[in-house]
Amino acid sequence: MESIVEFRIADAQCRVVAQEQVACEGASDGSDPEGMRVVGSCSLRGRRYLILCSVAEEELQAEASTGLRALLTPRELQVALLVADGMGNKQIAHRLRLSEWTVSSYIRRIFVKLGVRTRAAMVARMMAER
């Protein structure tokens, strides 16, 4: 299964893959032969993507979780949730009545606080901590 991006969150190996790949290659129970389980999904530009995490390490990650509310300010959490809903910076700016520059600044700060480098990794981290 070809990953779009792979990353680690709290020692759990995660990856983002196109949903079609999992439907073709994965098991019907939401797990894949490589020991990964679907923990979230998102859509971008009309395509669906799944976020997979290691099954064995997923429970350890949940125990080590500090919670998004403790890490992010209320506004950062609001921006992060809109990103998770698939909105772009311009759409978020319009919805929250902010400039695109401000939204971009919030997203950069969220990346630093969550220890991620991409929007997909940010969404995966959020899904894992719910």
pLDDT at position 106:
96
Cβ atoms 55, 46 nearer than 8 A: no
pLDDT tens sequence across 27-64: 444 444 466 777 778 888 888 888 887 765 445 444 44
Residue 68 has pLDDT above 50, yes or no: yes
Cα–Cα separations (whole angstroms), residue 20 to 12, 33, 49: 23, 15, 8
pLDDT tens sequence across 104-127: 999 999 999 988 999 999 988 888
CATH topology for 66-128?
A: Arc Repressor Mutant, subunit A (1.10.10)
Q: Where are the alpha helices (DSSP H) in the chain?
A: 19-25, 55-64, 68-71, 74-84, 89-96, 100-114, 119-128
What is the amino acid identity at position 54? Answer: S
Would you list the domain boundaries of the chain?
A: 5-63, 66-128
Closest CA to 83 of 29, 32, 39, 120: 120
